[in-house]
Amino acid sequence: MKQLKTTIEYGLYLLVFLLPIQTRWIIKLGESEYGTVSLYGTDMLLIILIALFVVLKFQISNYHRHSGIPQRRDKKQTPQHRCATTGQVNSKYQISNSKSKKIKIWWIVAGLELMIFISIFFADDKMIAIYKYGVFLLGIGLFWLVLGASYNKLKLIYCFLAGIFLQATLGIWQFLTQSSFACKWLGMAEHGAGELGTSVVEISAGERWLRAYGGLDHPNVFGGLLVVGLLMTIGLIVEYNKFKTRKFVISNLKFGEDVKQESDFNNMQSCKKESQITNYQLPITSIKYLLLTSYFLLLTSLFFTFSRGAWLGLIIGIIAMLAITVVKKNLLAQKKLLEIVLISSALIFILFSQFQNLALTRLSNGARLEIKSNSERINSYQDSLEMIKDNWLFGVGIGNYTGYNANLANECQSANCEYANAKQKWYYQPVHNVFLLVWAETGIIGLLFFIALLLCVMRYALCDKTNAESRNLNIKISILTATTIMFMVDHWWWSLHFGVLLFWLVIGLLATFKKSENL
């Protein structure tokens, strides 16, 4: 059982590290990405982890049944039962706590899942609807693992940030060299600034600048991932200032010195891993400087995405973090946040001075591509409202927004409608608003469950008064605020495979109830 738990733990670390890598087997090639059926490498790893977790659950259930030990532990468990260094419960077979809170959020998830399932019967393309439903179930499976599995949350976040760091490095290289390369093993397509369909910044006739993609489908997707990583990194930087030195344990290796026992990050006594094999130590003066380096690299890469929605999400997220520290009168956190903002402003000023024409083009509405982009977004809002008007209760089916829109335009053109303007299916995109997209595809009840899920996570962050949770309040609320802002200006969190998995990973990290964990 212990080996199985360890396998799941390190498999989860590997999964979040590999999550941005889009290696896949295309089962059915559609006319656009929204009509393509694929099996991703991360899907296979996630399915294996879910299966192992199910086996572990059965083993734990059998153990409790045969040993006579009740499965539900005392809710008055003291913080000393947890390890400050690893962030794990010392109890041998306990996987999670706060069962009552989990039950509440699972009812909401079940309601959303039910409405998505019902929407399949109203879909024109049922194969795509079933596939998207499967992706949604995988996202729920990831959410289940993040909530219930036994792992070190800090290690999980570091693995996640390490994967983002590699993507950020790739994005900077893409922009500075104005080139990219295709690699099927990394799930990367080649993007040329002169090719139609490539996301670029056009500053004058014929002068097109390639935006940073990383290894993802679009710069906006890449930008959203970077925003989540940046806010997590800010949180870690602020929290690490409450330590003199810190020991970071990876497998059987120790990095650094002893953890400060009475810290704002964790008020528990430090404890040692029983399975430690060696006392080899690699001294590190401060992990803070590594985090700062990563932060500035991620921020530079975010600038090169030229994603306005991601820029806005980061700004609002930082403002939310500052506002909460002011309300809580946390002067130390305010000081550190203001230092980060000041240094970030200096970096942005340098980048802006070097690429002023590109940034101003993205922020203005006068360039040809910006006019085209804004016009398409406005039209997509109008189309979504018309679609919702006709299918407000159950929607048009999960994953069927673009197909329904294309079919409607073709029918209108065949009937010689006055405003008929049918185009190829690859041209159509989902509405750039997750809330409208959820309503259009799953109906009003599905939208209400989706909003309830976000409110539930926010309520847990706001109302949980335990020491560990109150320290992490500003980080959790800032990430949730930033993602909500991005929901309002883009669709990929719901429409693309990576967006769905990232959404459930973020929600899972924000909704965890383990009192001893960091962030």
pLDDT tens digits, 412-460:
666 556 445 556 777 789 999 999 999 999 999 999 999 999 999 998 8
Contact 13, 156 (CB under 8 A): yes
**The domain containing residue 292 runs over which residues?**
152-249+284-330
Q: Provide the Cα torsion 249, 253, 255, 257; round to 10°.
A: 80
Assign 437 to helix, strand or coil: helix
Q: How many other CB atoms are there within 10 angstroms of residue 456's CB atom?
A: 18
Q: Indicate the number of domains in the chain.
A: 1
Burial profile 37-58: b = 16 or more Cβ within 10 angstroms, e = fewer: bbbbbbbebbeebbebbeebee
pLDDT tens digits, 19-47:
999 999 999 998 889 999 999 999 999 99
Question: Tokens 């404890």 — which residue?
Answer: 271
| Ramachandran angles phi, psi of 197, nearest 5° | 95, -15
Assign 197 to helix, strand or coil: coil
Asked whether residue 394 is domain-assigned, the answer is: no
Q: DSSP character for 265?
A: S
Handedness of CA 420, 424, 425, 430 (dihedral sign): negative
Contact 225, 216 (CB under 8 A): yes
Contact 233, 161 (CB under 8 A): yes
Asked whether residue 302 is domain-assigned, the answer is: yes
Asked whether residue 351 is domain-assigned, the answer is: no
Structure-token pair, residue 421? 């303007």
Handedness of CA 468, 472, 473, 479 (dihedral sign): negative
Residues 6+ apart with CB under 8 A from 516: 79, 82, 83, 84, 87, 88, 89, 266, 268, 468
The predicted structure's pLDDT at residue 417: 60
Q: Alpha-carbon distance 120 to 132, whole Å? A: 9
Asked whether residue 245 is domain-assigned, the answer is: yes
Q: Alpha-carbon distance 470 to 491, whole Å? A: 32
Model-level pTM? 0.86
Q: Which amino acid is at 418?
A: E
Q: Provide the Cα torsion 164, 485, 487, 475; round to 10°.
A: 50
Q: Alpha-carbon distance 171 to 301, whole Å? A: 6
The predicted structure's pLDDT at residue 305: 97
Tell me the helices (H) and strands (E) count for the chain, helix number first: 17, 7
Assign 441 to helix, strand or coil: helix
Asked whether residue 261 is domain-assigned, the answer is: no
Asked whether residue 170 is domain-assigned, the answer is: yes
Which residues in the chain show pLDDT less than 50? 73-97, 243-246, 248-285, 418-419, 466-470, 515-518
Asked whether residue 366 is domain-assigned, the answer is: no
Asked whether residue 515 is domain-assigned, the answer is: no
Pairing of β 281-282 and β 253-255: parallel
Contact 507, 457 (CB under 8 A): yes
Contact 432, 491 (CB under 8 A): yes
Q: Provide the Cα torsion 147, 312, 23, 454; round to 10°.
A: 30
